[in-house]
Structure formats: structure tokens, C-alpha cells
Structure 1
Amino acid sequence: MRVLHIITGLDAGGAEQQLRLLLRHLPARCDVLTLTRPGQVADGLIADGVRVTDLRMGGNRDVGALLRLARHIRAGRYDVVHTHLYRACVYGRIAARLAGVRTVVATEHSLGARQLEGRSLNAGIRVLYLATERLGRATVAVSPTVAALLRDWGVPGRRIQVIPNGIDAGRFRFDEVRRKEARAFYGLPEDAYVVGCVGRLVATKRFDVAVRALALLPADVRLLLIGAGPEAGRLHRLAGELGIADRMLMTGELLGGPDPGQGAPDLPSVLSALDALAAPALEETFGLAALEALAAGLPVLYTSAPALTDLPRASAPGAERIRGGAEAYARVLLRLHVAGPGDRAAPDAVRRYSIEHTARQLMDVYTTVLSGHDLEASP
């Protein structure tokens, strides 16, 4: 089976890194095409032996890119076209139809009740999404929460399949050696209490809540912002205004895979170096960072994480939902700090989200749509 994965870009984001991890476990011959921005994840895919093509799309009005994409699909003689992220889903579905490929699967990574991929939803986005969705055979929702939103939008239930994101839990298992090495790399005292935030530095992640919480916590508490993005400057200025710039550190983008970038520790190593994770975003589609932190045995404070809220509470006892702002996060972090380190074993929730299981479920979808049958209804 030949599968072409089309994605909007290949920066070090959650959807992009999930695609790379998935391709290591899919028993199919997979190529990847990115519309724009081949970044760290593109380099990682190439290192894994995956063929990556950059379409060099010039923007939403680059009609020529649609024709180039259709030619690429036709030349590759792909059995399945699998699209990821909004622009890739819109253009990929149209191009696949132009190329004569009707077996099109899309994964909806970033749909929320009020936003899509960090942008506010509007009628135009919704109309275009639904119009092109009809050109595909199946839409994969990464959580029951996302599946419910798709049905509310009008996507027929027979075309929706819930397949949660997966993780390689063993890679994130707590390691005392990696903890000491990562702390030494970033100059973090061994006795400091280190809180981390993981994700793109964008306004919707609300990392400013964690920065403000840091100002309310004792001087031995440090904050590690793990990621890059347009909010970096504002967050740095905020820390300066609050007088805590010397207690906050930004790591830039880190890869989740086995190859650390430019000598820096990789994400699993940095998670071992933390004592808690804060995830204050008001709206997440899945909550992959929270799940990876749980795999590292960390207590997780979150505002939105369907990966956790869709499960029984007892399956993730180290996760706590915080409904307030900086004061609420600071209050719980102080309690955790005073209580001292706990067991760093991964909870049951982590075992529910293995990447191997995700890959098997996706192969079942490919087989079903290739046979011309409808999917079984998802909850």
C-alpha cells in the first residue's frame, strides 16, 4: 500500500511530530509532502528514510500549487492520500480528486469549539472545510471531543473515526541520569523545583499564566518554556517586568524523537528534569504534552486536555484540572512543591495511548476505505 501524507508544514509542532512518530510504526510505504515550511521535523523524517517533498506553496492564492500537488499525486500512483492540518486538508482533498484518487483520509488535529489551529473560527473557514470534507472518505478525530465537534458541524458520523494520538511511552520514562544531564545543560540547580510548559509559544497556549504564577512562588522555583513561537519576546518582557527573568528559561524547539537538535537534550530528557508540567491553554484538541508528561511520571496541571478528560479520573491520578488563572496554578504548584517529589511511575492513562495501537487502527481505516465500505460509527 502506497500512502502520501500531505501536511501544511513541518515545524516542530504536535501534529508534525505525531506524523513522524506514526510513520515509524505504519506498515505501509509512506511519502510526505509539505505545502510550506520544511523544518526540524522534515529533517527528522529524512533521517528516518522517509521521502519528503516541499511544494513551496506561496500562499492561499497560489492556484498553481494545487495543480502541482495534483500532478505529484498522480505521478506517485498512491493508493491513499492522507491529509493533516487545515490548509493541507482543503488543498489535498481537491488535488487528490483532480488526480483521480478518491481514497482520501484526513486527520483533524486542531479543531476546537472556538478556534482551529490557534485561529478564531469564522463562517468562511467552516464552509470551506465542509465543502472539501465531502471529497474525502474518512475523517480521523484525535479524541471523542473532536468527533462531537465534527458531528455538530455537519460531518456525517459514518465518515468519522476516533483514533487518539499515540506516544512511545518508553521513551519518556523518567531517568535520573537524563535529569541530571538536562539540568546541568540548562544551568538548573539540582535542588530547584522546576515547572515546565511545552508547546508553541503562541497566545492560545496562555503560557503567560505560568509566568505570572512563577512570580507568586518561592525563589527556588524555576520555569522552563519548552518551544518556540511569536510570543517568545512578550513572555520574556513579562518575566522582566515581574522581576523573575533570572528564574525563567526558554529552550527553543526540542525534538521528541531520538535525535537531539544541535547538542541540546531531547524532549524526554527535559521532561525528566522537570518536577511538574503546567498546561494552561483554554482549548486543546488532544493534550499530547500533558500525556507525554504523565509518561515521565510528572504531576500535570491543565485547563484543557481531552486526552485526559475523556478517560476515567482514576486512570491519571497525577493530573489535576485547574479552572482559574495564575493564582490558581500557583496555589496548586506550591502545594506540590511543599509535598516533595512523588513516584515517577507512569499512570494507567499512558498505556491507553500507545503509538502501536494508533498505527493499527489507522491501517484498519485505510483498508476499509480502500474496500469501498463505510467506517464503523465512533462514539
Structure 2
Amino acid sequence: MAHTDQVGGAWGFFKYEDIVKATLDIETFSNGESRNRDLPRYPLEADPPFHTAYRKILQPFFNSRVMDEWEHIVRNLVIEMLEPLIFKKEMDMAKDFNYILPVRVILSFLHLPDQDCYRIGQLSEDIYHSSYGKNPEKYAATVESLKLYCHKAVAGRKTSPLDPQKDMISKLLQSQIDNQDISVKSVAGILHLLLTAGHDSTTSSLGIIINYLAQNPNDQKRIRENTSLIPMAIEEILRYETPVQRMPRTITKDFDLHGQKLKKGEKVFLVWGSANRDEEVFDNADKCIIDRKPNRHLVFGHGIHHCLGAPLARLELRVALEELLHRTKSFELNGNVVRTGYPRFGVSSLPLILCT
């Protein structure tokens, strides 16, 4: 563990065991403090019992039956986007595919207009690039723009609801917590979360996976010859290069850890990327072994805040890779890769040449 005076001061937890313990000790490590007090993003920014109530409402939308129903929709979107790129043979995979597909999927999943994908994608990028004090004015203005979009979408759904068994926004608007209707503000906050976290990390993951396979032709050849390895390869490549490097918690009481005195109110970052390279947990931790088993990685978090959308992300990644491999004989780099930096790993430019 270590301490930084940056970002207002925070501790970093780096060992797998310490991070897992923190995710399970929800009384000491709180995630209930909103990063945007005007628009709290539940259930991520909530502790039990509030967190539990919201999660119970949302969880059914991500169960295996729903994912089975959505597979053909995701596959059709992937094919629609891939076919012109395959025809071109040369493209920037990040800009032409990775940054667009997950936004289109989440908009479709939320029954929002597909034509909004570029606007939502750009707002998310502007929020990321202006965050952490890099451009406070732009950050505030962009967050406000996305907030207005979310409020307008929720207001529209309140006026014209859809089937609450199929539509998450309608379900939230028709639900209660503690015998109180869920407010429009709360639903807009959840939508705000889904329109950023709901695609951002999947974009990063696509870039990481395709970039890795482009630079490791032996592994690419291996999964082409045995496509049953695709799910395992996805999990391992993301363990090896974790897209979301860390998530924050707030300490609720004084305690000691490894000889350090942590105080109530201090911040902690749980550094998933470090945990996923912990040599006490993973043999050859700094080597990507695409059929690694078991693979107890923390790519999607751990404990009660384990990523709600992980099933949808896994579906997108698997289908995208299946279709890319099916439609090509090989793919390789065709220029310099531009990486995105901490805290979100990925690629912003991934020039490829496709052999068909």
C-alpha cells in the first residue's frame, strides 16, 4: 500500500488479498459518497441497504436469459459495423469500431435513439479527458450536458412508458424504495452511469484484446483454430491488461493496516490492475496465458459492487471477437498504436490491416 497527496490525498491498495478484503468489508470501506452530488449514480454510489434495493431492481435486466435474447441484436450490430471495415481491409479499429459499437449497444439496451451514439460517445470522451482537474470548466459543462440529456430521456419515458419487464428506465420509474417512488433525479443518475460506465470500459476492453491479438499472432492463430478458447482468452487478456485500473472507497473508521494508520474520512483506491498481476495469486502473473485456469481476476470488481453490466460486456466482447475472427484469416498492426493512460487503459488509435 502507499499514499499520495494528489487527488486530495488517498491511499492505494495493491495486493490482491487486501483489495478483496476491502470489497467485502462494506462497513469500513464505503462507496456511498457521490462523485456528483447533483446526480448520484446508484447503485454504484450507494451502500446497503440502499445499494441492495437498487441492485435488486436492476439485476434481472442482466441475467443469462436476457443476455441470450440480446445476443442476436448485438451480433447484428457487430456484423453491420464490421462488414464495411472488412471490405476496406485497412482501418483504425479503435476509431471505426471500438469507440462506436459499445455506445450503440447500450443505447439499444436502454431503448434510446441509435442516432445519439456519436453525441453520447463524444460527451463520455470529453468527461474522461477533462476529469481529474485537467479542465474543470469543460468537465462541469460536459457533465451538465449529459445530465440534461438524461433528464430529457427520463421525462420522455415517464410520459410514454415502455414495458417495465423489458425497459429498465420504465421499470425504475414504476418502482419504489422504502415505500417511496424512485425520483426522476435518481433515475437520471442511473442513466448517467449507464451512458458512461456502461460502454466506456467495454471500449477499452475491445482495444486491449484486439491490440494484444494483433501483436501476438501465435495466440491469435490458436484461438482461430479453437474458438472455444475465446471466452477464456478474453478473461486472461483483460487480467493481463486491466481496462479499469482502480476504483475509490471512503474509510468510515480509523484502523491499522500493514503498520499504517488509516483515518476515518480518508480515500482509498483499490488498484485492480495491480491485484490482477499479484504473483501470490497468479502463476507467471506477468505472462498472458490465454487458457489460464483457474483465473480469479478482479477485472469486473468484487463483492457487492461487482460490475452490474459484466454479462453484457462479456457478450459484446465475445461476439465481436467471434465475428472478427470468422470474417478474417488474420489481422495485424498497420502503424503506431496510441494508448490511453491511467486510470483507464485502452487504445485510442489501433490501425489494422485485415487479411481475408
Question: Which category describes the TM-score, using the shorter chain as reference length?
Answer: under 0.3
TM-score by length of 1: 0.25
Identify the structure with the greater helix proportion. Answer: 2
TM-score by length of 2: 0.26
